């Protein structure tokens, strides 16, 4: 609770308090002037000269000994009698940028989830994503088409589900619906349709409740020309609920904590990054695969 400040009420006269003299001024007044006037004795400059001479006499031998042993350790003749790290070609000196070690690869599984690209491509990109995630939608819209165009025939791209159910209440069912579409060979078309309608999914559908959302998902199946009876039965029965849960658990095991998250031959990239962030890692993986 914020501290309450009391102000004078109506009709009250605020008490006037005479300001108190500062403590330092009171102490000085009580102690008298400082420094006190000198009452004879040696002048101050002579006292300081004597004190300085005493210090030199006491500490000079120690300083000499310290200098002697220091010279012995580092070697004044240009050599070194102790083990001292010397800069080498592989050891950058101060001020030089140090090479950043490559990120460690993670054993992220592609499982048997939908993918595009050659099955034996030298580079595999695994995405863990959520159909109700705004950053996943941004990646789908901006970066994914660039990856497709730049690395056609060289990359296998796998999509795995990672619904953040506590934040996105319809992401689980959206993932199940995409798997039902995959039964009829229309996974990527349905995947794209979900992201195309991302704004509708997160805003308008929220007011309709689960029944309204499921009705919309079934409408997407009809729009794509799927067997709606088979699709509806698949979605209503929760046929792929455990499959989506397995994707999620595999993501957690690989260290995924948010969406979208990617593994490029095991190297993790987090967030809706631009093409350049993916290109650096993909190009290095391709070069390594080619024996470079």
Instruction: Give residue-wise pLDDT tens across range 153-203.
Output: 999 999 999 999 999 989 999 999 999 999 999 999 999 999 998 877 767
Q: For residue 55, what pLDDT is reported? A: 54
| Residue with the larger pLDDT of the pair 173 and 91 | 173
Between 191 and 103, the more confident residue is: 191
Mean pLDDT of the chain: 76
Bridge partner list, 161 = 129
Confidence of residue 290 (pLDDT cuts 50, 70, 90): confident
- Among the listed ranges 27-41, 146-160, 237-251, 270-284, which one has the minimum average pLDDT value? 27-41
38-47, 80-89, 93-102, 126-135: least confident range:
80-89
pLDDT of 140 over the 90 cut = yes
pLDDT score of 107 more than 70: yes
Q: Find the mean pLDDT for residues 37-57.
A: 57
User: What is the structure's pLDDT at 48?
Assistant: 58
> What pLDDT is recorded for position 99?
42
The mean pLDDT of 18-47, rounded to a whole number, is 48
Q: Domains (ranges, CATH) in the chain?
A: 122-289 (3.40.30.10)
State the Cα–Cα distance between residues 152 and 286, nearest whole angstrom: 13
SS3 289: helix
Task: With CA atoms as reference, report the closest residue to 267 among 123, 93, 80, 67.
Answer: 123
Lowest model confidence (mean pLDDT) among 42-56, 167-181, 242-256 = 42-56
Q: Which residue has the higher pLDDT, 115 or 6?
A: 115
Residue 128 β-bridge partners: 160, 261
Q: What is the pLDDT of residue 70?
A: 34
pLDDT at 112: 93
- CA-to-CA distance for 244 and 230, rounded, in angstroms? 19
Q: Are 185 and 230 in contact (CB under 8 A)?
A: no
Place 206 in a pLDDT band, splitting at 50, 70 and 90: low
Q: Is the dihedral of CA 212, 215, 221, 223 positive or negative?
A: negative
Alpha-helical segments (H) within the chain: 23-31, 44-74, 134-142, 144-150, 171-182, 187-196, 198-202, 209-223, 228-237, 241-253, 275-289
Please name which of 34, 32, 31, 50 lies closest in space to residue 42, comparing C-alpha atoms.
50
Instruction: Check if the beta carbon of residue 251 is closer than 8 Å to that of residue 133.
Output: no
Distance CA 287, CA 143 (A): 22
Residue 28 pLDDT > 50: no
Residue with tokens 């400082």: 34
Residue 57's pLDDT band, with cuts at 50, 70 and 90, is low
Rounded to 5 degrees, what are φ and ψ at 278?
Answer: -75, -40
User: What is the predicted pLDDT for the residue at 65?
Assistant: 44
**Per-residue tokens: 11:** 């009709």
Check pLDDT > 70 for residue 79.
no
pLDDT of residue 30: 43
Angle between helices 209-223 and 228-237 (to 10 degrees): 150
Q: Checking phi first, is residue 156 left (phi over 0); if not, alpha (psi -120 to 50) or beta?
A: beta
pLDDT of 56 reads 57
- The pTM is what? 0.65
């Amino acid at each position: 609770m914020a501290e309450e400040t009391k102000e004078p009420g109506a009709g009250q006269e605020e008490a006037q308090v005479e300001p108190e003299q500062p403590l330092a001024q009171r102490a000085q007044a009580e102690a008298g002037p400082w420094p006190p006037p000198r009452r004879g004795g040696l002048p101050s400059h002579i006292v300081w000269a004597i004190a300085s001479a005493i210090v030199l006499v006491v500490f000079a031998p120690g300083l000499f000994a310290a200098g002697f042993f220091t010279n012995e350790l580092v070697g004044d003749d240009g050599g070194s009698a102790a083990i001292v790290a010397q800069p080498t070609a592989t050891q950058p000196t101060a001020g030089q940028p140090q090479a950043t070690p490559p990120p460690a690869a993670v054993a992220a599984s592609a499982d048997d989830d939908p993918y595009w690209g050659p099955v034996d491509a030298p580079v595999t990109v695994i995405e863990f994503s959520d159909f109700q995630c705004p950053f996943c939608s941004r990646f789908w819209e901006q970066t994914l088409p660039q990856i497709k165009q730049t690395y056609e025939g060289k990359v296998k791209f796998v999509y795995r589900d990672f619904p953040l159910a506590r934040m996105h209440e319809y992401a689980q069912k959206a993932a199940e619906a995409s798997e039902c579409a995959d039964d009829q060979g229309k996974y990527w078309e349905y995947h794209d349709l979900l992201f195309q309608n991302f704004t509708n999914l997160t805003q308008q559908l929220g007011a309709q409740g689960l029944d309204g959302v499921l009705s919309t998902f079934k409408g997407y199946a009809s729009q794509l020309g799927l067997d709606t009876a088979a699709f509806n039965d698949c979605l209503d029965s929760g046929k792929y609920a455990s499959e989506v849960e397995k994707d999620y658990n595999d993501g957690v095991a690989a260290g995924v904590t948010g969406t979208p998250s990617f593994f490029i031959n095991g190297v993790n990239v987090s967030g809706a990054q631009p093409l350049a962030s993916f290109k650096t890692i993909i190009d290095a993986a391709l070069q390594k695969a080619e024996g470079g």
